[in-house]
Amino acid sequence: MSTPLTPLPQESFAGYEEGTPPPAADPDNPHWGVGTAFGVWLTSLALMLFFPLIAVVPYVFVYYRGQDFARSAEALAKDPTALLIGIAATLPIHLVTLAIVWAVATGFRRRPFWQAVGWGWSRNFGFWVCVLTALMLYVAASALAYLLGVNKTPFDEMLESSAGALFATAFLATATAPLVEELVYRGVLYPALRKVGGAALAVIVVTFLFSFVHYWQYKNSPGTIAAITLLSLSLTIVRAWTGRVLPCFVIHLVFNGVQVIMLLFEHFIGAGEPQPQKAAPALYELLTHAPPLFLFL
């Protein structure tokens, strides 16, 4: 005689119903913690520090093999091809960083990505407000840099090493850097810090980390460092106020775009003419936060 089967409770099938929406994600109350957020930041930083160096190794092996190390390092620091390889290596780094952010934000496809990172518009902070904010921020950053003094930095020298370096940097500064930096700093780091310490602490820490990473590119130019800090503080305040990352991305993109336009204009129109000392800050964003390769030789 067979024993009758007892039906399972109805809720046992709840997680397997077809079309069940994924769990909601609150960008100000993320499912990841501070440790994970700092892990993402440190990983992105490590990639930017070491991958360009690894990428240039084959070139060094072919063209500098058998030469004196000290002289080779000095020559490599000004080698346009080596510098271009280091810049080009930033693109795969950005893609890997995006993949890491996606994995953390979605919990490996368990949550909607854009909702988790706060990708959306705020009711009172739309596209044109972002554009106007970016332009005003650029003017303020330029004035601050002028007052504190802008010196020529290794990053500026890298941009001047070749047209390829300039064009590659211009592409990265508008195509990938604003997206990657905003997702890392304002999409992953900020909400995790806000969750445990409040908005004020999160704004301070994220502003400091963003400025600290860029400091090594521009440490001999106090005006540029001050302008970067102003940019970071403003973007993080916008994130705190709106609860969204998309406005930060648009501001960052327009801010970089203005600088790229100015650099390209100078390259094509001002080539061969004596250049006055720049009052505006240099192009800040090669993100994510890639120092010139030769600082690590």
Q: Is 232 left (phi over 0), alpha (psi -120 to 50) or beta?
A: alpha
Average pLDDT score over residue span 137-153: 91
Residue 7 lies in a domain: no
* CB-side neighbour CA atoms (13 Å) of 248: 30
Kindly indicate the confidence band of residue 113, based on its pLDDT and cuts at 50, 70 and 90.
Answer: very high
Q: In which domain, by residue range, is 126 found? A: 29-296
Residue 6 lies in a domain: no
* CB-side neighbour CA atoms (13 Å) of 88: 11
CA distance 34 to 40: 10
- Comparing 268 with 181, which gets the higher pLDDT? 181
Q: Specify whether the CB–CB gap between 267 and 131 falls below 8 A.
A: no
Percent of the chain with pLDDT over 70: 81
Residue 194 lies in a domain: yes
Please name the residue that has the structure tokens 């067979």. 2
Rounded to the nearest angstrom, the gap between the alpha carbon of residue 289 and the centroid of all alpha carbons in its chain is 6
Rounded to the nearest angstrom, the gap between the alpha carbon of residue 134 and the centroid of all alpha carbons in its chain is 16
pLDDT of 258 above 60 = yes
pTM here? 0.83
- Comparing 159 with 7, which gets the higher pLDDT? 159
Q: How many residues does the chain have?
A: 297
pLDDT of 130 above 90 = yes
Residue 3 lies in a domain: no
Report residue 145 as tokens.
Answer: 């840099």
Residue 18 lies in a domain: no
Number of domains making up the chain:
1
- Comparing 68 with 42, which gets the higher pLDDT? 42
Please name the residue that has the structure tokens 């809720």. 11
Residue 163 lies in a domain: yes
Residue 234 lies in a domain: yes
DSSP letter for each residue of 175-230: HTHHHHHIIIIIIIIHHHHHHHH-HHHHHHHHHHHHHHHHHHHHTT-HHHHHHHHH
What are the CA-CA distances from residue 157 to residues 68, 110, 171, 282 (Å)?
A: 24, 45, 18, 11
- Tell me 77's DSSP state: T
CA distance 10 to 16: 11
Q: Specify whether the CB–CB gap between 183 and 98 falls below 8 A.
A: yes
**Could you read off the pLDDT of 198-255 as tens digits, one per residue?**
999 999 999 999 999 988 778 888 999 999 999 999 999 999 999 999 999 999 999 9
Torsion over CA: 143, 179, 287, 79 (sign)? negative
Residue type, 210: F
Any residues with CB less than 8 A from the CB of 69 and at least 6 apart, and which? none
Residue 16 lies in a domain: no
